[in-house]
Amino acid sequence: MNFDFSDDQKQLRDEARRFLTEKSPPKAVRAVIDGKEPYDRELWKGLADMGFLGVAIPEAYGGSGAGHLELCVIAEEMGRALAPVPFSSTVYLAAEALLLAGSEAQKQKWLPAIAQGHAVGTLALFEGAGNPSPKAIKLTASNGVLNGTKKPVADGAIADFAIVAARTASTGRDTDIALFLVDLTSEGVEAKALTSIDPSRNQAEISFKNVKAELLGAPNEGWSILSQVLDRAAVLVGFEQVGGSDRALEMGRDYALDRIAFGRQIGSFQAIKHMLADMYVSATLARSNCYYGAWALSTDAAELPEAAAAARISATQAFQHCSKNNIQVHGGMGFTWEFDCHLYYRRSNALAVGLGSLSYWEDQLIERMRKKNAA
């Protein structure tokens, strides 16, 4: 058994960590949070130059074609560094949708642009409160023209194109949903930035008024493609959450060693030690679940749906657990704007709902386990 990343993959992780430590320090994250820029363009360009944006994009489409395990190790570092760039929307959602269902022309047009950092993409799925569900999609497509509003759309105000989930019929079946690829500079598109609990990542409302759009994939397979894209993204975002958990744990540990109260390092108080031990436990369980997800993703295994849901739940819990307790370990300092604790707290709670909430994935996991059991 070799249930671990290879030495080359670990080397790539180190390389990504070095790069992001330098190019995405908390100062850079704060520049975006303070609203100076909607995302860190320089970092984005740097990621393209390093080849990180196209790591899972085949060479034929301008990527390096390394693969999804490589993307997982990079994702972990993106999460650890809280990189303020539209990486997940572009690379996990838009690029994966294109790879899964795009026409040759669509792939040729957009994938190289993604790999080179020239195009930001996103997935426009949600229409207000709620979880991924065909029923919740009201935006209509008829004769290749979209009408309706999506909100929130991650990175929607900075994206060049979007994959839009639209309703083509009202039979009440999953096959009513189709995906469309929309150039967001098209006539009739209007994007408005929204404020969010994590301003280091852009959120937007996008309205479509008689917007011409091209179909992505077969017209009746939109929902099925979307589910696959969400499963893949669940693993990849899981790695971002694992990276964030580890960093929050590390910050808490370092502070516990540094801060003195009652004449002792606070890390010598058992209440603090045990809190940090529990953070380690949840981060470790999440990492192991995500490794399994990575294996399933990289081998396109039949276990992917179940593995993805488990990775998603475990990683969401771990990042929320670690980031909130990191603040607790830091005491009053932890609640200052100046300390970085809240950056992780914000990101953990934003990631927790971005692909559908915890309860949604819990439901998915049990449904999938149940189906497997019945089979």
Partner 1 sequence: MNFDDTPQEAEFRAKARAWIAANAPREYEDELKKAALGRIQLKSANILEVAKAWQKKKADAGWAVPHWPKEYGGRGASPIERVIWQQEEGVFGKLGALFIIGHGMCGPTMMAFAREEHKLRYLPPLASGEHIWCQLFSEPAGGSDVAGLRTRAEKDGDDWVINGQKIWTSGAHHSDYGILITRTDPTVPKHKGLTMFFLDMKSPGVEVKPIKQANGQAEFNEVYFTDVRIPDHQRLGAVGDGWNVSLTTLMNERMAIGAGVATGFPELFDFVNNLTLEDGPAIENPAVRSKLANWAVRASGLRYTSFRSISALSKGERPGPENSIGKLVAGAMTQEVATYALDLQGASGVLNSPEDAEVAGKFQAMLLRSPATRVEGGTDEILRNIIAERVLGLPGDIRVDKDVPFNKIPTRGRA
Quick check: 322 and 283 in contact, CB under 8 A? yes
Torsion sign over Cα 141, 155, 161, 54:
negative
d(CA 65, CA 57): 5
Residue 32 and residue 39 in contact, taking contact as beta carbons nearer than 8 Å: yes
Residue type, 202: N
Instruction: Determine the distance from the C-alpha atom of residue 198 to the mean position of all C-alpha atoms in its chain, rounded to a whole number.
Output: 13
Q: Total binding residues for partner 1 by CB under 8 A?
A: 50
Task: Name which of 16 and 69 has its Cβ closer to partner 1.
Answer: 69
Residue 133 found at the interface with partner 1 (CB under 8 A): no
Contacts with partner 1, 243-282, as mask; x by CB under 8 A: ------x---x--xx------xx-xx-x-xxx-xxx-xx-
| Residue among 175 and 265 whose Cβ is closer to partner 1 | 265
CA 51 to each of CA 54, 83, 177: distance values in angstroms, whole numbers, following the listed order = 6, 16, 34
CA dihedral 375, 231, 354, 109 (to 10 degrees): -150
> Which 280-339 positions form the footprint of partner 1 (CB under 8 A)?
280-281, 284-289, 291-292, 294-295, 298, 309-310, 313-314, 317
Question: Interaction with partner 1 in 334-373: which residues (CB under 8 A)?
Answer: 359, 361-363, 365-367, 369-370, 373
User: By C-beta, is 181 or 310 nearer to partner 1?
Assistant: 310
Is 3 a residue that touches partner 1 (CB under 8 A)? yes
Structure tokens at 167: 């309703």
- Coil, helix or strand at residue 280: helix
d(CA 79, CA 62) in angstroms, rounded, equals 25
For partner 1, the closer CB: 141 or 237: 237
* 290 touches 238 (CB < 8 A): yes
Closest contact distance (angstroms) between CB of 266 and partner 1 is: 10
Residues 64-93 that bind partner 1 (CB under 8 A): 69
Shortest approach of partner 1 to residue 250 CB, angstroms? 9
- 230 is a contact residue toward partner 1 (CB under 8 A): no
User: Which value, to the nearest 10 degrees, does the dihedral of the CA atoms of residues 212, 39, 242, 294 take?
Assistant: 40
Nearer to partner 1, 60 or 281 (CB): 281
Strands 121-124 and 161-167 come out as parallel
Cβ 363 to partner 1, closest distance in Å?
A: 5
- Between residues 1 and 105, which has the closer beta carbon with respect to partner 1? 1
By CB under 8 A, name the binding residues for partner 1.
1-6, 69, 249, 253, 256-257, 264-265, 267-268, 270, 272-274, 276-278, 280-281, 284-289, 291-292, 294-295, 298, 309-310, 313-314, 317, 359, 361-363, 365-367, 369-370, 373
